[in-house]
Amino acid sequence: MKLVKNTEQSQKLKNVTDKEAEDAFRTILSWMGEDPLREGLLETPKRVVKAFKEYFKGYKEDPNQILDKTFGDVEGYDDMVVQKNISVQSHCEHHMAPIIGKAHVAYIPKDRVVGLSKLARVVEVFSKRLQTQERLTMQIANTLMESLDAKGVAVTIDSTHQCMTMRGIKKEQATTVTNYYLGQFKDDLSYQNRYLRFISVPKD
């Protein structure tokens, strides 16, 4: 699986200490034209390292383990389960600028369902890594499909990329929408259309 490959690759990387990371941020502050020794910036490298641990904690988490526990006592429920408006906070891998938006996730269970909070947690694990939106959408869908042995999975992400809004082309109102369908959602347009209607219904 891709997760195993990523884990193996990460094990080959140098183990960088917090102090080494803080020194790197001091260098960047100097490169910017700042004085890292002035009072307001003395603790900034330490704070940034702490913040980065939160931004990118997904590298240390296994989404498949999140989906380990499922429930079979659902009295034969076999229609789609849709979870809308899951907040997404990620960073693009090209400029390390924030990606802010929402994810919508649906799956069709075969025999068992998973706790609702687990869907949002899978979104968060993959979001807390350097990403492209396209890959993020596919990673969430493929993991749900494989781990839940689902009949079908649909994932939609609608987000704003600050690498577009704050730099470069600077189009503040631009948003990006990606969709990925597997199983019955891909093979049967009636499921796909129902899913799209569900996620487009405004919240009262």
* Residues labelled as active-site residues: 92-95, 133, 161, 163
DSSP state for residue 159 in the 8-state scheme: E
Taking the C-alpha atoms of residue 4 and residue 11, their distance in angstroms, rounded to an integer, is 11
The number of C-alpha atoms within 13 Å of 59 and in the hemisphere containing its C-beta is: 16
Taking the C-alpha atoms of residue 179 and residue 198, their distance in angstroms, rounded to an integer, is 14
Q: Which residues pair with 71 in a beta bridge?
A: 113
Q: Which residues pair with 178 in a beta bridge?
A: 157
Record the tokens describing residue 75, joined without a space: 């009295």
The number of C-alpha atoms within 13 Å of 54 and in the hemisphere containing its C-beta is: 6
